[in-house]
């Protein structure tokens, strides 16, 4: 949960009619007791030793291979399954696919009324619609082999894999059991968010479909752990939260994004730009929500990333997210355990207002980037659905890193946490020599004694590695 010394959430203020723009992290490769610029734990200096390779979930102790240099070591590699397990969705009627090759990539509140709509979305790599306009045609989604999480009782075909319960009742209702009148709290002084969630859950048929809800700044920033955990754990089967770090100016204030940082990080009462508007914070949002899930790791947490200008027209001076920022925000979320990605596909202001950003000609560069990004996610879905390999790799403090164990190989996912350029150092628990293939970049890096380095040009830099170290002799024991 939140560490002592971090800025605490402010007392709850009831928010009426506010649609928040915000998103969700537990890094599987953060160890040690020192802290980084976000107040998070930094890696210890890695020990040099050989590692055993895990063959299934559990812990194996590192040991040198026969004939190898170096003595026995006390580092262990532990496999941690993805949240909920790979077969989680299969427990529901009309489930999402449980195949390792499937990874949910959705858009928020789209309209599907014409064959060209579904064609453009499919080309962009979208396979899921999270909430839909009421005039949308579910048969088009079904015929395209895509899926829907509907917010109304629009239909019950095979495409409808979940009921969308609510959006941000943690903010519009707040943490309380007050009475509800219509869609709002009966009294503006008595929070009613829990009552709203109960009412929403009861309004849908008990047909075995998955339940989904999204939360906002209440769960991530304003509420106590106990208050937020009740939202996260009691009402839905899949959960997300949205914090739009790149495009929300308010997120930099102490009572919002500042709650993830130390008070000493503030400059003139705000988070400075290099700490506030950065891709790594999407991972911090993931950490916050995943830390609230009880039992730990028992349900999937999905991530929200904006693709346009979600702030209103009265905030046109606020930034529009850039294509490279989208890529970095998505990978930060994935590094921190997101089991699905939802794009906030709306621009309420900026140069090109739209409710379907990824279909707009004026967002052509964004669309092209997202197409490539989604194709990469789809191609790497078996890796993303594979277990995390805890303790397999540590890295320099300036990068977030997660390691996956797939197809008898380690895959390292790394994203920058600092806005300036850096050369990052990676240390495997294995001291063999070999190469790190940089995925989709056409280059390889030498690994010597289990160590390799790579350059990260800025805060949006992301590199993905496939580790090939034939000199390592792996033996479980």
| CATH 2.60.40.1180 intervals, the chain | 59-83+386-468
Packing angle, helices 225-234 and 193-202, rounded to 10: 0
For residues 182 and 184, give the distance between their C-alpha atoms in angstroms, rounded to a whole number. 6
Listed in sequence order, the residues at least 6 apart from 345 whose beta carbon sits closer than 8 Å to its beta carbon are: 107, 108, 109, 110, 307, 308, 355, 356, 357, 358
What is the residue whose two structure tokens read 């900026």? Answer: 350
Helix (H, G, I), strand (E, B) or coil at 249: helix
For residues 213 and 228, give the distance between their C-alpha atoms in angstroms, rounded to a whole number. 13
pLDDT tens for each residue of 307-327: 999 988 787 889 999 999 999
Residues 128-146, mean pLDDT to the nearest whole number:
96
The structure tokens listed for 444 are 């390889």
Q: Give the chain's mean pLDDT.
A: 86
Give the model's pLDDT for residue 7: 56
CA of 453: how far to CAs of 16, 44, 412, in Å?
50, 17, 13
What DSSP state is assigned to residue 309?
-
Q: 59-83+386-468 has which fold? A: Immunoglobulin-like (2.60.40)
Beta bridge partners of 404: 388, 411
Residues 327-340, mean pLDDT to the nearest whole number:
98
- Tell me the pairing of strands 462-468 and 434-438: antiparallel
Listed in sequence order, the residues at least 6 apart from 313 whose beta carbon sits closer than 8 Å to its beta carbon are: 348, 349, 353
Position with higher pLDDT, 96 vs 45: 96
For residues 273 and 287, give the distance between their C-alpha atoms in angstroms, rounded to a whole number. 21
pLDDT tens for each residue of 337-369: 999 999 999 999 998 999 999 999 999 999 999
459 backbone φψ class: left, alpha, beta (φ>0; ψ -120 to 50): alpha
Burial of 154 (0-12, 13-18, 19+ CB in 10 A): middle
Above pLDDT 90, what percent of the chain? 78
Please state the pTM of the whole predicted model: 0.88
| CATH 3.20.20 intervals, the chain | 88-384
Helix residue spans in 192-337 (DSSP H): 193-202, 217, 225-234, 273-276, 280-292, 323-335
Q: In the predicted model, is pLDDT for residue 22 greater than 50? A: no
For residues 446 and 442, give the distance between their C-alpha atoms in angstroms, rounded to a whole number. 14
Domain 88-384, classified CATH 1.10.287, yes or no = no
For residues 435 and 430, give the distance between their C-alpha atoms in angstroms, rounded to a whole number. 13
Give the model's pLDDT for residue 34: 35
Nearest to 213 by CA among 230, 225, 226: 230
CA of 423: how far to CAs of 241, 275, 347, in Å?
32, 19, 36
């Amino acid at each position: 949960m939140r560490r002592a010394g971090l800025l605490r959430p402010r007392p709850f203020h009831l928010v009426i009619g506010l649609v928040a723009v915000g998103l969700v992290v537990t890094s599987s490769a953060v160890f040690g007791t020192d802290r980084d610029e976000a107040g998070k734990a930094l890696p210890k200096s890695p020990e040099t030793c050989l590692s055993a390779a895990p063959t299934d979930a559990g812990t194996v102790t590192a040991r040198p291979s026969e004939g190898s240099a170096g003595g026995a070591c006390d580092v262990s590699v532990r496999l941690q399954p993805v949240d909920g397990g790979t077969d989680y969705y299969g427990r529901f009627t009309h489930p999402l696919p449980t195949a390792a090759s499937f990874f949910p990539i959705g858009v928020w509140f789209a309209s599907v009324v014409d064959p060209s709509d579904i064609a453009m979305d499919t080309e962009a790599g979208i396979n899921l619609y999270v909430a839909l306009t009421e005039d949308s045609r579910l048969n088009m989604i079904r015929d395209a082999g895509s899926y829907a999480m509907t917010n109304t009782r629009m239909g019950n075909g095979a495409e409808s894999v979940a009921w969308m319960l609510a959006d941000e009742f943690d903010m519009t209702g707040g943490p309380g059991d007050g009475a509800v009148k219509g869609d709002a709290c009966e009294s503006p002084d008595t929070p009613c968010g829990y009552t709203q969630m109960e009412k929403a859950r009861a309004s849908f048929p008990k047909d075995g479909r998955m339940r989904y809800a999204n939360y906002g700044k209440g769960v991530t920033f304003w509420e106590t752990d106990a208050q937020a955990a009740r939202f996260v754990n009691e009402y839905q089967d899949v959960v997300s939260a949205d914090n739009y770090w790149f495009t929300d100016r308010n997120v930099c204030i102490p009572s919002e994004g500042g709650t993830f940082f130390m008070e000493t990080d503030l400059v003139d009462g705000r988070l400075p730009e290099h700490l506030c508007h950065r891709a790594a914070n999407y991972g911090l949002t993931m950490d916050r929500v995943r830390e609230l899930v009880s039992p730990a790791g028992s349900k999937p947490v999905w991530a929200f990333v904006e693709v346009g200008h979600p702030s209103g027209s009265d905030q046109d001076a606020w930034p529009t997210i850039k294509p490279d920022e989208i890529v970095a925000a998505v990978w930060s979320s994935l590094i921190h355990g997101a089991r699905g990605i939802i794009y906030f596909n709306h621009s309420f202001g900026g140069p090109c207002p739209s409710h379907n950003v990824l279909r707009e000609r004026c967002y052509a560069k964004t669309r092209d980037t997202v197409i490539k990004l989604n194709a990469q996610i789809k191609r790497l879905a078996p890796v993303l659905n594979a277990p995390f390999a805890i303790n397999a790799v540590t890295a320099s403090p300036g990068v977030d890193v997660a390691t996956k164990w797939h197809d008898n190989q380690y895959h390292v996912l790394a994203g920058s946490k600092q806005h300036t350029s850096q050369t990052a150092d990676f240390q495997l628990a294995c001291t063999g020599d070999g190469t790190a293939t940089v995925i989709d970049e056409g280059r390889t890096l030498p690994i010597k004694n289990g160590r390799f380095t790579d350059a990260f040009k800025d805060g949006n830099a992301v590199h993905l590695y496939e580790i090939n170290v034939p000199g390592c002799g792996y033996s479980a024991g």
